[in-house]
Amino acid sequence: MASKAKAFLKRRARRTRATAGLRGLVRETSLTRGDLIVPLFVKEGREERRAIASMPGQFQFSVKRLAVEAKEIASRGLPAVLLFGIPASKDARGSGAWDRDGIIPQAVKAVKDSAPGLVVITDVCLCEYTDHGHCGIVKKGHGAWRIENDATLPLLARTASAHAAAGADIVAPSGMMDGAVGAIRAALPHAPILSYAAKYASSFYGPFRDAAESPPQFGDRSTYQMDPANSDEAMREIAQDLEEGADAIMLKPALAYLDIVRRARERFAVPLAAYNVSGEYSMLHAAGERGWIDARKAMLEVLTGIRRAGADLIVTYHAREVCDLIA
């Protein structure tokens, strides 16, 4: 009994929690503006700014308005944006995606003009541009449909090339097609590739599909996005993308997959990003609006948790609102 009491006196964990100063000094995980990437939606057309109903505080911007937003984002010390384009018209092949005068090339140029120091990352996928909403070419046969992997690859390479030609700093293939990184790397030997290496078929993308106007018109994405039950497979996906020439990797979503973030961190010494997705954002806001949680505190806790799990970078819709709370 006596020896137990002694050990207890030697290790009082509360000693370093006594003041804010002490807590700050022994804090293990940092969260700064420099860790955050701001996802932005840009839509063709004249409407300057349109609120996204399922994502409070988020908007679709015109190219012109996007340039203003980008300048403001850069002035807050946020280092990077991730652009998603919504074209005026869609077709079966998603030809708007690789149009050199398309919405993303226009947006990249506008952001580069207004905020030259801001790193511009572009989402490389077809789903915002296809009338069926899938991330690849769709073939129907024998009464069933399938997403054609290999026929999609040259279209992704063309899309990434159009973005790079417009001045994108990083291209980010997100469609989970096998060989996408290799196809883009062959077309673009010098462009940094941030690969969505392990992207799960998740229900947490719901609000995003509203925002990007890209819900699949039939079926779902489970033949190309990952099964939420798998972890070893995520390690294989990451290893393959790095072998094909990816410079950095992204895991998506974040919160239900923090074990994957941790595993990837321990195994791969490359820049690692996690995407704090739309559903994660909107759930927090919805609960906050009802007074069920303190949304500002929860936001800090969530983002710190993603960093603690091992992410270097976080793509998050909270980026602008969290600026007031962090350095």
- Interaction site with Zn ion (CB under 5 A): 125, 127, 135, 175
Tracing tokens 């944006």 back to the chain, one arrives at 81
User: Closest separation between CB of residue 224 and Zn ion, Å?
Assistant: 9
User: Closest separation between CB of residue 223 and Zn ion, Å?
Assistant: 13
Q: Of 127 and 162, which CB lies nearer to Zn ion in the complex structure?
A: 127
User: Closest separation between CB of residue 125 and Zn ion, Å?
Assistant: 3
Q: What backbone torsions phi and psi does residue 221 show, to the nearest 5 degrees?
A: -105, 15
User: Closest separation between CB of residue 98 and Zn ion, Å?
Assistant: 14
Which alpha helices (DSSP H) does 175-229 contain, by range?
180-187, 206-212
Give me the active site residues, please.
199, 252
Tracing tokens 């018109």 back to the chain, one arrives at 217
End-to-end Cα separation, the chain, in angstroms: 47
The beta-carbon contacts of 43-47 under 8 Å, at least 24 apart in sequence, are 43/85, 43/86, 43/103, 44/85, 44/86, 44/87, 44/88, 44/103, 45/88
Q: What backbone torsions phi and psi does residue 197 show, to the nearest 5 degrees?
A: -70, -45
User: Closest separation between CB of residue 48 and Zn ion, Å?
Assistant: 26
Residue 30 sits at the vertex; the CA angle it makes with 318 and 301, to the nearest 5 degrees, is 45
Q: Of 175 and 182, which CB lies nearer to Zn ion in the complex structure?
A: 175
Q: Of 145 and 268, which CB lies nearer to Zn ion in the complex structure?
A: 145
- Taking alpha carbons only, the member of 195, 185, 204 closest to residue 255 is 204
Q: CB of 183 within 8 A of CB of 156?
A: yes
- Taking alpha carbons only, the member of 309, 310, 302, 292 closest to residue 326 is 302
- Taking alpha carbons only, the member of 83, 84, 86 closest to residue 119 is 83
Handedness of CA 94, 100, 102, 105 (dihedral sign): positive
Token duo for residue 101: 């005068």
Q: Of 155 and 295, which CB lies nearer to Zn ion in the complex structure?
A: 155
Tracing tokens 């996690």 back to the chain, one arrives at 274
Q: Of 275 and 284, which CB lies nearer to Zn ion in the complex structure?
A: 275
Please report which helix (H) or strand (E) contains residue 240, including its range: helix 232-244
Q: Of 175 and 207, which CB lies nearer to Zn ion in the complex structure?
A: 175
Strands 248-252 and 59-61: unpaired
154 to each of 106, 137, 161, 184, how far by Cα in Å? Answer: 22, 11, 10, 8
User: Closest separation between CB of residue 135 and Zn ion, Å?
Assistant: 3
